[in-house]
Structure 1
Amino acid sequence: MIKIENIKKSFGDKEILKGISGVFERGKPNLIIGSSGTGKSVLLKCIVGLIAPDEGHIHYDEHELTNANRDTKTEIRRQIGMLFQGGALFDSKTVEQNVMFPLDVLTKMPKGEKLDRVNSALERVGLAGQNQKMPSEISGGMQKRVGIARAIVNDSNYLFCDEPNSGLDPQTSILIDDLILELTEESNITTVVVTHDMNSVMGIGEKIMFLYKGKKLWEGNKNNIMDSNVKEFDDFVFANKVMRKLKKG
């Protein structure tokens, strides 16, 4: 579980996050949604410690990240897996080397144990035997799966995904969503996904936080989206023609 309390962040005189609080639950995908420029990615970077919030607190289960000492922050970060937008693979490294990278940086495991971890992670994302391929030799969907394998190779307790379906066709996007859901439930981890993809919202939105101009305006799940009475949220969700039809019944 991750709990955030009154997170505020400004850059210069521009206030990006305006006091956001919430709980991201273990064992289910937690989605942060909203239009571009609403603060989704900034909030994600605050939660994982890439950006320090100006105010507020972030709790990883029993640990408080915001004011933690160096050792505690290091321990929390070892438990975090991150799937960056676009995959962010190293072009000059093989699939195996990309997935092994967090183990090289964060652990002192012997090479054989690292390789066992890499092979297990690749098998979990359906890429067994693809170790020696270069990123340029595999599809965009496969690159995203390599990114997920890299994020989970260290037995992460917390998985963060920033726009995991960007640049993918609808069918591949569904496969990535299904993989994220499967890994979250099977490993009982806390997963936070930043997205504006309504297919993802309706597919795996077990817990949804909607941001609008730096504020949390709605929270719920995919089953009670239709019952919202928040105009800004309805405008975002039902901008999609299919969703408008569902709303009308």
Structure 2
Amino acid sequence: MIEVKNLHKSFMGKTVLNNINGVFQQGSVNMIIGASGTGKSVLMKSIVGLYEPDSGEVLYNGRDFYRCDRTVKKSIRQEIGMLFQGSALFDSKTVEQNVKFPLDMLSDYNESEKRDRVNDILKRVGLENANKKMPSELSGGMQKRVGIARAIINNSRYLFCDEPNSGLDPQTSILIDNLIKEITVEFNTTTIVVSHDMNSVMEIGDHIMFLYKGDKVWEGTNTEIMDAEPESLQHFILANKLLRSLKETRN
């Protein structure tokens, strides 16, 4: 479980996060949604330590990330896996080398143990024969799966996904959504997904937080969201539907 308390972040005097409070449950897909510029990516980056908030707390199973000592902070970081928006694979490394990278940096495994672990994880994401391929040889969906494999290679307790369906066709997006959901349940991770895709929200979102202009305007389940009252959320849902319909018409 991850809890944020009174999280505030500003850049050059402009408030981007305004005293955000929330709980992200273990074994659940927790989604942070909102239009571009609403603060959702800044919130995620503040939770993982890429941005330091101006005030507030981030608690990983009760451990205060910004007030703990160096040893505890290192331990928390070792438990975090991240899937970046563009997959962020190393172009000069093979799939196996990309996935193995966190083990090289953070684990005490020997080379044989690392290879076994990589093979197990690649099999889990459906890429058991892709070890020696280069990222340039893979489709966008396969690159995302490599990114997920790298994110969970260290038995991550906390999984963060930044716009995991960005640039993917609808069918591949569904495959990636399902994989994220399956891994969350299988490994009992606390998963946080930043997204603006309502299809993903309805398919895999267990708990949803909606941000608007730096404020948390609404939170609840995917069964409650369609009846939510905030006008800004209803506008977001409508715009999402119109955009998807336009894309489907063009295809």
TM-score, normalised relative to structure 1: 0.96
Q: Tell me the CA shift for residue 240 of structure 1.
A: 3.5
1:142 aligns with 2:142: yes
**Aligned residue runs from structure 1 range 156-235, under 5 A:** 156-235=156-235
**1:195 alignment partner AA:** S
1:40 aligns with 2:40: yes
1:75 aligns with 2:75: yes
**How far apart in 1 are the matches of 2:13 and 2:28?**
36
1:105–1:241 CA distance, 2 compared to 1 (3 A): closer
**2:239 alignment partner AA:** A
**How far apart in 1 are the matches of 2:177 and 2:212?**
24
Q: Is the 8 A contact 2:197 2:240 kept in 1?
A: no
Match of 2:249 in 1: none
**How far apart in 2 are the matches of 1:198 and 1:111?**
42
SS in 1 for 2:239: coil
**How far apart in 2 are the matches of 1:229 and 1:46?**
28
Identical-pair percentage: 62
**2:134 alignment partner AA:** M
SS in 2 for 1:109: coil
**How far apart in 2 are the matches of 1:226 and 1:10?**
31
Q: Spell out, residue by residue over 1:14-73, the C-alpha distance to the aligned partner (whole angstroms, 9 max, x if none).
A: 111110000000111000000000011111011001111000000100311011111111
Aligned length: 245
Q: Spell out, residue by residue over 1:152-211, the C-alpha distance to the aligned partner (whole angstroms, 9 max, x if none).
A: 000000000000000000000000000000000111110000000111011111100000
Match of 2:52 in 1: 52
SS in 2 for 1:58: strand
> Runs in 1 of length 4+ with deviation above 4 angstroms?
none
**How far apart in 2 are the matches of 1:93 and 1:240?**
37
**How far apart in 1 are the matches of 2:241 and 2:204?**
20
**1:21 alignment partner AA:** N
Q: Tell me the CA shift for residue 227 of structure 1.
A: 1.6
**How far apart in 2 are the matches of 1:61 and 1:103?**
23
**How far apart in 2 are the matches of 1:236 and 1:221?**
16
**How far apart in 1 are the matches of 2:241 and 2:219?**
22
TM-score, normalised relative to structure 2: 0.95
Match of 2:5 in 1: 5
Q: Tell me the CA shift for residue 239 of structure 1.
A: 1.9
1:122 aligns with 2:109: no
1:56–1:153 CA distance, 2 compared to 1 (3 A): same
Q: Is the 8 A contact 2:79 2:156 kept in 1?
A: yes
Q: Tell me the CA shift for residue 242 of structure 1.
A: 6.9
Structure 2 residues not aligned, in runs of 5+: 246-251
Q: Tell me the CA shift for residue 108 of structure 1.
A: 2.3
**How far apart in 1 are the matches of 2:133 and 2:191?**
28
Q: Tell me the CA shift for residue 241 of structure 1.
A: 3.8
Alpha-carbon RMSD: 1.5
**How far apart in 1 are the matches of 2:174 and 2:234?**
23
**How far apart in 1 are the matches of 2:124 and 2:5?**
34
Between 170-179 and 63-72, the greater mean CA deviation after superposition: 63-72
SS in 2 for 1:130: coil
